[in-house]
Each structure stands twice: as C-alpha cells, then as structure tokens.
Amino acid sequence: MEKDWLALKENFDNFDNIKKKPRPPKPNNAITIAVSSRTLFNMKKERQVYEEEGLEKYVQYQLEHEGQPLLPGVAFPFVKALLNVNSHLRELYPDSEELFDIVLMTNNHAQVGVRLINSINHYDLTIERFCMSGSESAVGYLKAYMTDLYLSKDSEKVREAIEEGIAAATMFACDNENELSDTQLRVAFDGDAVLFSDESEIIAKTKGLDTFFEHEKIFENKPLAQGPLKGFLEALGKLQRKFYAKGERLSCPIRTYLVTARSAASAGARVLKTFRCWGLEVDEALFLAGAPKGPLLQKIRPHIFFDDQMFHIEGAQELGTIAAHVPYGIGQKYYKGNLLQENNLRN
C-alpha cells in the first residue's frame, strides 16, 4: 500500500513539473525557428539504416530504440542558445510572447515521433510544435507554421524554402567544434546574398572588382535591397532592444556579427548606411577585403554562421565553426554542380 501511495505521489509530482514547464508563445507573436530532426539530433546511424535497409526497417529500428535518446546534432547548440534567450526574456518580461518558438520539422512517420519526443524531454528542450509529414516534404508546411527561419541538412529542401520566400539555410557540422558561449547567443552573417540582395555581387562577378568598387561609390547613399536573412536579423534586433530597454545593452544575451569579404574603405560605407536606413544594427562589423573568414570566426565562436558561398563554409568548418549555407543569388548559378560537394561535406 505504501509503495502504491509513493508511486502515486511521484506521478503527481511529475505532473506538477510538466505544468510548470514554460509554454511556447502564440505563433503571431513569436520568432519561429523550424529545424529538421536531422539538424537538431545526430541521426547518422538511423539514416544509414534507412538508406541500406529501407523505410520499414528504419521505423522498426526507431521503435526498438524509443527509450534511447538521440545524440545532439549540429543545430542543438543554436537551439539551446535560443531557449536560453527565452529564459532571460521571461525574467524581464513575464507576460511577453515575443520569444523564440522552435518547431521540429521532419518527414518521419508519426510512429517515430515518440523517440523524438523522448529525446526532446531528455534534454529538457521546450519544443511543443511538431510537423511529422510521413515521407512527404515538410517544406510545404513552413508558411502555415509562420516560419521565420528554416534549418535543414537537405540542400534541396532548403532551396525550395528560399524559392518560397522563406529564410533558410543548409547546416554543416565540423569534426572539432569550437567551445560555445552558454550565456550569449552569437549569430554571424555574410552580407551580400545573405542579409543583402546579390545586386552588387552580380557586378563583382560579371564585371570585376574595379567596376564593383566604382558602382558602390556611386550608389553609396542608395540602400541595398534586402536579402533572404534580413528578416531574421531584424527579429534578433527587436529582441535585443527589449534587453536594452532594461539597461542590459552590455550584458545582452544576443550578439550579432557581419563578417563580409568586402573592403571597408572601398565598399563598406554603403553597407553601414543600408543598416542605418533599415533601422538595424549589428554589434560588430568585420570587413576582410577578401581575406579568409575562418580565423575571425574561430575568434567569434558563433553558434551559427550564414554564408552563400561554399568556399567560406568550408573555411569555417575547418576551424571549428558551425556554418549554414544560404542558396541564394548569383552564387547559386552553379548550384547543381556544387550539390555533390555539399553532400560530401554533410555529416
């Protein structure tokens, strides 16, 4: 009898803990980050079962391992950092719903969902919204989930999302990841074809650097058109200002970086004036004049770095930075040729 009573009490205690877990914000107020199951968790072994033995064996394998949490994947540190920002925001604004909302997007069958849920609960992640599309692409649901950013390891799905006007990137892991901050979300962006359109990049690639520099000088006071991730930077800035309003500019748990191959004196003014026109800012702007980005990123140690060129993605990976490829603009002219290269790099 006493054992039964203790078991019942434990169940009630667990129920209380569940009730106390923070609820996700309403989608209309949230910044929605959709992540695929293979970016949030390391499913390399599971993927191997699927490719070598087929769907039925894959589902069976997942069912047999439901009690075994999946290992963290490439997007896991980024998601943890987003949820850490939420915790700080709730302390300052208990009733605010301007928070990050993480949505798990997967083409897994619903039967596999139990293992995903168990893994999320094992790591104490606040992820309540799922999309399990049962072998169909989940990309078509992104707009319905009001997605602000979509992260996947599938280059084709990311390209589909970009073509639908949704900010998206293909994530790449690295063998020896840099140690990342536990208290501050750090996000690094390339400029052209990421935050900005590729209008200037087109000139640089088709007419050469001299013409590019001349063009940027002539149009220094004309803001660049927005690129696919401008909205995400805008969302980060909105949350940063909430911390600034509480006197936490210096201790803000969000920090943003522009890491661009542009030269500062020759082509930097237009970039900074564009930010000013947009009413946005980055915490740090690093103009490299064509120098490799990897060493600077190794110093910054961002949770994620966005770039449209695989050359810079590779350089970031080699020095321990988690990088995400944005397939947008003229840089994707040879996309099909680069796809095999991307697949070889993907873990």
Catalytic residue numbers read: 190
Q: How far is CA 95 from the centre of its chain?
A: 26
Rounded to the nearest 10 degrees, how much is the dihedral formed by the CA atoms of 280, 34, 194, 171? Answer: 130
Q: Which of 264, 242, 334, 320 is nearest to 77 (CA)?
A: 320
The burial of 216, by beta-carbon neighbours within 10 Å (0-12 exposed, 13-18 middle, 19 or more buried), is given as buried
C-alpha span between 102 and 4 (Å, rounded): 38
User: How far is the C-alpha of 261 from the C-alpha of 159, rounded, in Å?
Assistant: 23
H or E element in which residue 218 lies: helix 209-218
Tokens 């989608």 correspond to what residue? 27
Kind of pairing, strands 254-260 and 284-287?
A: parallel
The DSSP letter of residue 15 is H
Question: Is 146:33 a contact under the CB 8 Å cutoff?
Answer: no
Instruction: Quote the DSSP letter at residue 138.
Output: S
CA dihedral for 122, 126, 129, 130, sign (positive or negative): negative
Collapsing DSSP states into helix, strand and coil, what is residue 93?
coil
Nearest to 210 by CA among 142, 263, 287, 160: 263
Q: Which two tokens stand for residue 157?
A: 């799905």
